[in-house]
C-alpha cells in the first residue's frame, strides 16, 4: 500500500478538493482506496456524505484498544472507502504526545499499517497546522502533495514545511508542491508558473486552473470527475493523478 497526504499549513488552498478528486481517480482505475479525513472540520467526509458511525474514544483508537477499522465506511463509489472525520480528534495531539513520552514515536504509522491488507492506496486529508499529528503524517506518508495558490506568502509556507523536513532529517524529496486555483489573467500567476522557484524542483508540473465548476462539488456532494469529465479543470486532475502515480513505486508506469 502507498500512503499519500495532501498538506498545507494554510487552509482554503485545495487540500480537500484535491484529496477527494484524486481518491476518485484512483478508485476509478480499480485501485482499492481509503481516504482518511484527518481534519476535524470534516470537509471531505461532508463531500462524500458520511459521518463517523460510532464515536470511539480517540485514546482507545490511538492505543489500539478500539480497532480503527471499525470507523471505515463505504462511499457511493466502487473501490473507495472513507474514515470520516471525528470532531473529538481535535484533541488527538495530546494523546499522541503522551504516546511519544511512552516511547511510541509514530502512532499514526501504526494505525495506517494494517490497512495495507485491504487497500492499495491510503490518502490522508490533513488539517492546516503544524502539530504532533502532522509531524507523524510527515513521517508516515510516502509522498506529500502541497497545493499552492501562486503567491509569495504561499511559497513562504511551503518553505517553512521544507525547512521543517530538513531540520528533522525527513526526506524533503517526498514533498511535491503544485499550483492550484491558477488564474492566467493575473501576472503573478503567469510569472510563477513560467519560472517556478528552485524550492519547487520536486513539484508537479500540472497546474490546476481556477474554475467555478469546482464549487459545484459542494452542491452535488460528489468528486468533480464523477460529474464532469470534459472541463479543463477535470483534465488537469487527470494529469495530476498521472504525475502523482509517478512518485509512487507501486503505481509508476
Ligand X SMILES: Nc1ncnc2c1ncn2[C@@H]1O[C@H](COP(=O)(O)OP(=O)(O)O)[C@@H](O)[C@H]1O
Which residues sit at the interface with ligand X, rule CB under 6 A?
Answer: 8, 11-17, 43, 180-181, 208, 210-211, 214-215, 233
Residue 45 binds what, of ligand X, Mg ion, none (CB under 5 to 8 Å, by partner type)?
A: none
Rg of the Cα atoms in the chain: 17
**Least distance to ligand X from the beta carbon of 149, Å?**
9
C-alpha cell, 16: 480537500
210 vs 251 by CB, closer to Mg ion: 210
Q: Which is nearer to ligand X, 3 or 8 (CB)?
A: 8
Q: Among residues 32 and 46, whose Cβ is nearest to ligand X?
A: 46
Tell me the DSSP string of the chain.
Answer: -EEEEE--SSSSSSHHHHHHHHHHHHHHTT--EEEEE--TT-HHHHHTT---SS---HHHHHTTSS-GGGG-EE-SSTTEEEE---GGGGGHHHHHHHHHHTT---HHHHHHGGGGGT-SEEEEE--SS-SHHHHHHHHH-SEEEEEE-SSHHHHHHHHHHHHHHHHTT--GGGEEEEE-SB-TTSHHHHHHHHS--GGGTT--S--PBP-GGGGHHHHHTS-HHHH-SSSHHHHHHHHHHHHHHHTSTTT--
Q: Which does 134 bind (CB under 5 to 8 A by kind): Mg ion, ligand X, none?
A: none
Residue 16 is a binding residue for Mg ion (CB under 5 A): yes
Identity of the residue, 16 or 25, whose beta carbon is nearer to ligand X in the bound complex? 16
**Binds 21: which of Mg ion, ligand X, none (CB < 5-8 Å by kind):** none
Could you tell me the three cell numbers for 99? 504516546
15 counts as binding Mg ion under rule CB under 5 A: yes
Nearer to ligand X, 3 or 234 (CB): 234
Q: Which is nearer to ligand X, 7 or 115 (CB)?
A: 7
Least distance in angstroms from the C-beta of 43 to Mg ion? 4
Taking CB under 5 A as the binding criterion, the range among 13-21, 29-37, 150-158, 229-237 that sits at the site for Mg ion is 13-21
Q: Stretches 12-20, 58-66, 73-81, 229-237: which one binds Mg ion (CB under 5 A)?
A: 12-20
- Whole-angstrom Cα distance, residue 51 to residue 70? 13
In the list 32, 43, 100, 130, the residue contacting Mg ion (rule: CB under 5 A) is: 43
Binding interface with Mg ion (CB under 5 A):
15-16, 43
Amino acid at each position: 500500500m502507498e500512503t499519500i497526504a495532501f498538506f498545507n499549513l494554510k487552509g482554503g488552498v485545495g487540500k480537500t478538493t484535491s484529496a477527494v478528486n484524486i481518491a476518485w481517480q484512483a478508485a476509478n482505475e480499480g485501485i482499492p482506496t481509503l481516504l482518511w479525513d484527518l481534519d476535524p472540520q470534516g470537509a471531505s467526509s461532508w463531500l462524500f456524505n458520511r459521518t463517523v458511525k460510532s464515536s470511539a474514544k480517540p485514546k482507545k483508537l490511538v492505543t489500539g484498544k478500539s480497532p480503527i477499522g471499525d470507523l471505515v465506511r463505504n462511499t457511493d463509489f466502487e473501490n473507495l472507502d472513507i474514515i470520516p472525520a471525528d470532531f473529538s480528534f481535535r484533541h488527538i495531539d495530546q494523546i499522541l504526545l503522551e504516546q511519544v513520552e511512552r516511547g511510541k514515536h509514530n502512532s499514526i504509522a501504526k494505525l495506517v499499517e494494517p490497512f495495507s491488507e485491504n487497500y492499495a492506496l491510503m490518502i490522508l486529508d490533513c488539517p492546516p497546522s503544524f502539530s504532533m499529528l502532522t509531524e507523524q503524517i510527515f513521517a508516515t506518508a510516502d509522498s506529500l502533495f502541497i497545493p499552492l495558490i501562486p503567491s509569495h506568502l504561499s511559497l513562504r509556507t511551503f518553505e517553512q514545511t521544507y525547512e521543517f523536513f530538513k531540520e528533522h532529517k525527513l526526506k524533503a524529496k517526498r514533498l511535491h508542491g503544485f499550483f492550484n486555483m491558477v488564474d492566467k489573467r493575473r501576472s503573478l500567476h503567469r510569472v510563477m508558473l513560467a519560472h517556478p522557484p528552485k524550492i519547487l524542483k520536486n513539484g508537479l508540473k500540472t497546474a490546476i486552473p481556477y474554475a467555478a465548476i469546482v464549487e459545484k462539488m459542494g452542491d452535488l456532494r460528489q468528486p468533480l470527475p464523477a460529474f464532469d469529465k470534459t472541463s479543463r479543470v477535470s483534465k488537469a486532475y487527470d494529469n495530476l493523478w498521472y504525475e502523482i502515480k509517478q512518485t509512487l513505486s507501486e503505481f509508476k508506469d
